[in-house]
Chain A
Amino acid sequence: MTNYADLSSREAYGKVLVELGQNNNDIIVLDADLSRSTMTKFFAQAFPERFIQCGLAEQNMISIAAGLASCGKIPFASTFAVFASNRCFDQVRMCVAQPKTNVKIVATHGGITVGGDGSSHQAIEDIALYCSLPNFTVIVPSDSIETVEVIKTAITTKGPFYIRLGRPKTPVIYNKGCSFKLGKADILKDGRVATIIATGIMVAKALEAAEKLSQSSINCRVLNMSTLKPIDDQAIIEAARITGAIITAEEHLLHGGLGSMVAQVLANNMPVPMLSLGINDTYCKSGNPEELLAIHGLTSDNIERAVKDVLTRKIVK
């Protein structure tokens, strides 16, 4: 048995594909010259006849995946998140989103924590792009264990999926197991003072911040919003009603990401003071992952401060 907790999310993805591929011959994996990085290489080794190497041709890969899906296969197409979103967006729209083909796009190296490669390789628009597409389900797992559950769900749920994973190994959230429910936010910590809603690698930072805040009796609710589309409106509205203040944190542009989507739900249903942490309308640069997160205000300290800030605006009844 693979111990997924020891792996990065992309390694967990590569390994679980092999596990699931054993009992499901419909699973076909496609890659565009990045199988050594996306970790689909494990599947390529285990099931060479069901691995399709497309070479450096992302657009072709997506449309091929759509063709496979139309014949009953469950294609997983992988490449880096920048290319999976920006490079083949029209192919995704025409061949996957509109016709609702059963294509699972699993993109690795999401966000700025790819690090040294710099802006050309940092996907910061992918969530906005994919969430803009009707019929798509968009998920950013928070750790390797949740990744495994998300991949299982993607196989059993018909329709287009975009799943974003990161490059570095990140802290494990679900040491005690994960019961991922598609479209449902997971309450990782309860509190009544404010709610921190986070996604992806920012979930661990949110928990860290909440821990520090609780030492000064600021007890926050922490929501893992791994499914970004369809977003869990009810969880957001309830958090607003009970805690009266919301902070969001994401490794993505503020425009069109988690913060924008939460703001829309709040504005339409239950406006409360809110503060969004994310990348503020800029391309990012080379650097090591933690440095880059600090430069863009995405540390647990930043979240802690944001909570205190938003509390000064909270309307106390």
Chain B
Amino acid sequence: MSDYSTSELEGIARKLRYDVIKMISQAGSGHPGGSLSAADIVTALYFKIMRHDPKRPGWPERDRFVLSKGHAAPILYAALAQCGYFPSEWLSTLRKAGTCLQGHTDSTLTPGVDVSAGSLGQGLSVGIGMALAAKIDKKDYQTYVLLGDGECQEGQIWEAAMFAPNYKLDNLTAIVDYNGIQLDGFTKDVMNLEPFLEKWRAFKWEVIEIDGHDMKQVIGSLETVKNIKDKPTVLIAHTIKGKGVSFMENNVDFHGKAPNKSETDIALKELS
């Protein structure tokens, strides 16, 4: 929808990562790793790809975004604030009593958040419902669902994966933030998903593999998806958990832990 250049988009992604660290640090708890790995994807969607209007969060024609991995709420909040859905001052209230920015997304409290999440594995099905509604209403909006790789171990993901091609939902795109780490450790050790692409292909999805931190690739693949007919697409985005902060990168410990004061200083320096 916008004409930001790739380098401008990269700049926005860096700013959103900065906000994520600041928010989680101020909150004293939260999930930095999976917020940072998703930063480029979320930036591409909100600042280039999606049709949406921050002044009309309920606009019926808007593209839909489902953050199925609801613990990455900080990256979504940072993007929504940057777009102007709510004042950026709200960001410092994350997770505090009385806030509109809950620890996990809450559709009843935050402008621009369509789906409450936090219990993993359900967002793809919700996205299917939105895509079905578009078909029924003959609307042309797109639905994007962001999944974690660990999240893909949930059985419901595969119920949804079977459903979407059966209903030819070419207006639905799943994006897997394949950062290779979940809560207890590396995904390949906890419960290996591989061969992952083949699984989606066997379920009859169009599968596109990308580097989830290469803005050009992210944008390019999301543009391509719009022309794929009669089946849903899944983007397998290879990412790095904690991307952008040296000591968080590929570090299981920063799945769900806030940085302390000195870690925050270093992280913010690296991101500015």
Contact = CB atoms under 8 A, between A and B. Distances in A.
Given A33-B184, A33-B190, A60-B155, A86 B118 contact: no
B270 interface: no
Interface centre among A115, A119, A286, A292 (most CB of B within 10 A): A286
A119 B106 contact: yes
A113 B204 CA distance: 43
Contacts of A33: 150, 153, 182-184, 190-191
B104 A120 contact: yes
Nearest to B121: A56
B97 A288 contact: yes
B120 interface: yes
A231 to B, nearest CB: 29
A105 interface: no
Given A33-B183, A56-B191, 14 more contacts: A34-B183, A35-B184, A55-B153, A56-B120, A56-B151, A56-B153, A57-B154, A115-B29, A116-B29, A116-B30, A118-B95, A120-B119, A288-B96, A288-B97
A287 B104 contact: no
Contact of B103 (A56, A59, A82, A116): A116
Nearest to B27: A116
Interface centre among A82, A120, A285 (most CB of B within 10 A): A120
B116 A56 contact: no
Nearest to A40: B184
28 contacts: A31-B184, A33-B153, A37-B183, A41-B184, A54-B191, A55-B150, A55-B182, A55-B190, A56-B182, A57-B154, A82-B119, A115-B29, A116-B28, A117-B29, A117-B103, A117-B118, A118-B103, A118-B104, A118-B106, A119-B104, A120-B70, A120-B103, A120-B117, A121-B103, A286-B102, A287-B97, A288-B96, A291-B97
A118 B184 contact: no
A87 interface: yes
B158 to A, nearest CB: 10
Interface residues of A, number: 32
B96 A59 contact: no
Interface of A: 31, 33-37, 41, 53-57, 59-60, 82-83, 86-87, 115-121, 285-288, 291-292, 295
Interface string B24-37: 00011110000000
B98 interface: yes
A10 to B, nearest CB: 15
Contacts of A288: 96-97
Contact of B184 (A53, A57, A286): A53
Contacts of A36: 183-184
A286 B118 contact: no
Contacts of A41: 184
A120 B184 CA distance: 20
Contact of B119 (A59, A83, A115): A83
Interface in B90-131: 95-99, 102-104, 106, 109, 116-121
B86 to A, nearest CB: 16
A271 B261 CA distance: 56
Contacts of A292: 97
Given A36-B184, A286-B96, A53 B103 contact: no
B191 A121 contact: no
A120 B99 contact: no
Contacts of A286: 95-97, 99, 102-103
A83 B153 CA distance: 15
Nearest to A115: B29
B95 A57 contact: no
B191 A55 contact: yes
Contacts of B106: 118-119, 285
A5 B31 CA distance: 30
B29 A57 contact: no
A56 B152 CA distance: 8
A291 B97 CA distance: 7
A54 B154 CA distance: 10
Nearest to B30: A116
A295 B97 contact: yes
Contacts of B150: 33, 55-56
- What are the 6 closest A-B residue pairs judged by CB atoms, nearest first? A120-B118, A55-B191, A287-B97, A116-B95, A118-B102, A55-B153
Nearest to A295: B97
Contacts of A291: 97
Contacts of B95: 115-118, 286-287
B182 to A, nearest CB: 5
Contacts of B120: 56
B49 to A, nearest CB: 27
Contacts of B98: 285, 287
Contacts of B119: 82-83, 86-87, 120
A33 to B, nearest CB: 5
A41 B118 CA distance: 23
Contacts of A119: 102, 104, 106, 116, 118
B97 A57 contact: no
Nearest to A54: B191
Contacts of A295: 97
A57 B118 contact: no
A59 B98 CA distance: 34
